[in-house]
Structure 1
Amino acid sequence: MDQENSILPVSVDLDPPIPSNEMERIMALVDFDLDYMDLNKSFADLTKLAAKVAGTSISLINLIDSFTQWSVSSYGIDIRQMPREESVCQYTIMEENSDGFEVEDLSKDERFKDRPFVTNAPHLKYYFGIPLKVNDDLALGALCVLHDDYKSLSAEKKEMLEIIAGEVVNRIKIHQAVANLKRTVQETNSIKNRVAHDIRGPIGGIIGLAEIIQMQGDSNKLEEVLDFIALIQKSGKSVLELADEILSHNFDLTGGVMKRAPKDHEFTLSTLKFKLEDMFNPQAITKQVKLELTATAPFAEIPFPKNKILQILGNLISNSIKFTPSGGIVEVLLDMEVLDQQKILQFKVRDSGVGISPEKIAEILRGGTTSSKGTSGEKGYGFGLNLVNHLIKGLKGRLLIKSDPGEGTEFEFILPLA
């Protein structure tokens, strides 16, 4: 069964559980800078193992951000995401559930009995989740097992699931270490290219000087000096050719702009557009909101570091969907300006939603906004826009907000890149 686009929002009167260290928890998740849609291969063996150990039909590895629960790996069900307030794992990440959270019958629990995955196929009953903790306090999400019938897990099986959850966290840390290493390699290559560029001038000067001396040398009969200078000239040209080779290696200079294929730790405007479509179209379809994304030319294929951009735009898009009524539209414009050696990313998220008052805008930009409900009663957690503002400031960027109550909102995110 394809659950990806079939999970409809339900009205839940209970306030969502929020860990006391929620901002620190979300920042820890953001610091890993994970691509939620590209992790299944890393964890597929662990979700399958968890289901086999527990004897359940379903196992999931879920990461929970400000608005959404992302199923980065699944076994026994095809699901990628659901609203955070609809999830069971939101209870598992609470500090008091460090040893696991168990629900013997979801259909008899007031918190979960009306959930679509309980009342409709696959008619789930049993749940057991282990928090994915990067330290004693911060849980990124949960490893959970679910079943459509009653289950009872022994202490030994629960302990084995804890071990699997620990391995999930280890692989997340390894993923971050590899990503950091790739960024370091990229920075090293950039330094290498700059050094090669810097030596062109001095070596070119040596060659020019050698040519002048060589031109004047016949009248002075400096045969031995000329031979030596000829060697300098030859060596200098060789180094200059090497510098040119380093500068042009694996690059296609088109219109004065350096172009190449993006690496694993990079986006282009085009690849970012497709990623955002995959991630947030299900939310927009569920809310019956039209989501339009545009990557503008001519720099749509120029690579740039991922560097938490997915987390920033993801929170802005989720927020706009949340506060746009059914039948509305959310537009996302991805643009880049190239000035000499600097790139400037310019992203806009524009919606036809309920709008924001000037007082609320000032509160957001101060980093002190509080939670509010969406147009369909979606629960708010009060951290999404705080997080966006914090991340943008950390990247030396700017967040601009234009809005009037009832007239929609436009968020603009400007980020300079060296």
Structure 2
Amino acid sequence: MLEPHNDPTQSAERLAALHSYDILDTPREPEFDELVDLAAKICGTPISVVNLIENDRQWFKAEVGLGIRETPLDVSICRHVLLQPGLTIISDLRDDPRMCANPLVTAESGLRFYAGCLLETPEGHGLGTLCILDTAPRKLSKDQQSALKTLANQVMAQMELRRSLKQKTKLLQEKELLLKEVNHRTKNNLQLIIGLLQLQLRRLTDPEAIAALTDTSRRIMSISAVHETLYQEDNVGVVDAASYLAQIIAGVAATAPHGTRFESDMESIVLPLDSAIPLALIVNELLTNALKYAYTAFASRQVLIILKKEGDTLYLTVADDGKGLPADFDYLKGRSLGMKIIASLARQLAADVSFFDNRPGLKCVVAFKADQRAIN
């Protein structure tokens, strides 16, 4: 029997490496079952297993010819080869002093032949083996030995793939949590700025200054709405356009003149952050401009917002029933800050912006191609 300090099964480093693969006690999988089945057929043996050696048991990820998932460690044959890299062949287990007293060997019609290829991590830790067993002594041909080594390499490749996917999933989860926290804090910081602007507005008496700060506050609210939606979404980094645009419309409606009606028809379209923020700001500018310039003081107001997707192109339409276009209107040469902002945001989206006389009113259509990964 191995002394504890010489027993490789009790190595803390080896056990940590084994547990890092997160494979113990997982269900059977075809990727492993097919490899043990192939090993048994190539080598002509009734038993083939992928076993992993824990500190107190031998657990089988896949097996042919046993019908069980684990055995106590003290009857494990493979535990004795954890320090032997490559392929270990024992033609007759009764002749090996380590195995001859094993109850699996001494039993009538017990095990006689063993061949196991070490499942070894890149760091050199033996985790278990891909092994084949028979109830009669025998040998393996060179081709069978080579095949067994190749199949063992495939077992390790499957395990490395599992570990890599687990690590990437963990990193992705950590990244998503970090992004959620960033969006939450950004939203809170923007809300703080809005609050400071609101305090400043209460002290102002100059109509132009009040209008300028109100517009600035609305723009910041639009960005805040995107980050609020990002924080709430399960899929971090993208947002549902209909959801966050509804928040922006509600924000503008809260300060609109009495009797203003907002109607919307928006498809549920997922957008990445670098498209969502410019689009939100464009909607804010178009709604604000409509309320400022489209109507006389006591006119009823109706504004329509439409968001549709046709193919890979998104179409945003904002239409009012106000006074319509001035005779000399030129969007690209517009001197107002709002038009300059819209032009700048349109360049960020690589969007085409068109204004039409709606008779009555004005219609603006913004068309751009969104990230296919986001909208499909």
Q: TM-score, normalized by length of structure 2?
A: 0.54
SS in structure 1 opposite 2:79? helix
Cα 1:210–1:113 change in 2 (3 A) is same
Count of residues in Structure 1 that have an aligned counterpart in Structure 2: 231
Show CA shifts across 1:228-274 (max 9, x none): 333322232233333332333349xxxxxxxxxxxxxxxxxxxxxxx
2:24 is equivalent to residue 36 of structure 1? yes
Show CA shifts across 1:282-322 (max 9, x none): xxxxxxxxxxxxxxxxxxxxxxxxxxxxxxxxxxxxxxxxx
Deviation at 1:199, TM superposition (A): 1.6
Match of 1:192 in 2: 179
Deviation at 1:162, TM superposition (A): 0.8
Deviation at 1:173, TM superposition (A): 2.0
Counterpart code for 2:196: L
Show CA shifts across 1:74-128 (max 9, x none): 2233222222221010122133xx34222334466562455257627x8433221
2:129 is equivalent to residue 145 of structure 1? no
SS in structure 1 opposite 2:25? helix
Larger RCO, structure (CA 8 Å, separation 6 or more) = 1
2:57 is equivalent to residue 71 of structure 1? no
For 1:138 and 1:210, the matched residues in 2 are separated by 62
2:232 is equivalent to residue 241 of structure 1? no
Match of 2:216 in 1: 232
Counterpart code for 2:58: Q
For 1:19 and 1:178, the matched residues in 2 are separated by 28
Cα 1:183–1:128 change in 2 (3 A) is same
Deviation at 1:67, TM superposition (A): 1.7
For 1:231 and 1:125, the matched residues in 2 are separated by 86
Cα 1:210–1:92 change in 2 (3 A) is same
Q: Is the 8 Å Cα contact of residues 107 and 114 (structure 1) preserved in structure 2?
A: no
Unpaired runs of 5+ residues, structure 1, are: 1-13, 252-418
Q: Is the 8 Å Cα contact of residues 133 and 140 (structure 1) preserved in structure 2?
A: yes
Aligned-CA RMSD value: 3.0
Match for residue 119 of structure 1 among 101, 107, 111: 107
Q: Is the 8 Å Cα contact of residues 113 and 136 (structure 2) preserved in structure 1?
A: yes
For 1:182 and 1:20, the matched residues in 2 are separated by 29
For 1:185 and 1:137, the matched residues in 2 are separated by 28
Match of 2:79 in 1: 90
Match of 2:347 in 1: none
How high is the sequence identity, in percent, across the aligned residues? 23
Deviation at 1:58, TM superposition (A): 1.8
Match of 1:180 in 2: 167
Q: Is the 8 Å Cα contact of residues 39 and 73 (structure 1) preserved in structure 2?
A: no
Match of 2:143 in 1: 156
Match of 1:220 in 2: 206
For 1:81 and 1:197, the matched residues in 2 are separated by 48
Counterpart code for 2:103: R
Q: Is the 8 Å Cα contact of residues 88 and 112 (structure 1) preserved in structure 2?
A: no
Q: Is the 8 Å Cα contact of residues 106 and 118 (structure 1) preserved in structure 2?
A: no
SS in structure 2 opposite 1:132? strand
Counterpart code for 1:130: C
For 2:35 and 2:127, the matched residues in 1 are separated by 17
Q: Is the 8 Å Cα contact of residues 75 and 102 (structure 2) preserved in structure 1?
A: no
For 1:147 and 1:138, the matched residues in 2 are separated by 27
Deviation at 1:142, TM superposition (A): 0.8
Deviation at 1:147, TM superposition (A): 2.4
For 1:20 and 1:64, the matched residues in 2 are separated by 7
Q: Is the 8 Å Cα contact of residues 104 and 111 (structure 2) preserved in structure 1?
A: no
Deviation at 1:131, TM superposition (A): 1.0
Cα 1:72–1:112 change in 2 (3 A) is farther
Match of 1:59 in 2: 48
For 1:148 and 1:22, the matched residues in 2 are separated by 31
Matching of residues 357-372 of structure 1 within 5 Å: none
Match of 1:26 in 2: 15
Q: Is the 8 Å Cα contact of residues 69 and 83 (structure 1) preserved in structure 2?
A: yes
Q: TM-score, normalized by length of structure 1?
A: 0.49
For 2:83 and 2:198, the matched residues in 1 are separated by 75
Q: Is the 8 Å Cα contact of residues 9 and 55 (structure 2) preserved in structure 1?
A: no
For 2:83 and 2:192, the matched residues in 1 are separated by 66
Match for residue 80 of structure 1 among 30, 50, 69: 69
Cα 1:58–1:240 change in 2 (3 A) is same
Q: Is the 8 Å Cα contact of residues 10 and 55 (structure 2) preserved in structure 1?
A: no
Unpaired runs of 5+ residues, structure 2, are: 236-376
Matching of residues 347-358 of structure 1 within 5 Å: none
Q: Is the 8 Å Cα contact of residues 56 and 73 (structure 2) preserved in structure 1?
A: yes
Cα 1:212–1:138 change in 2 (3 A) is closer
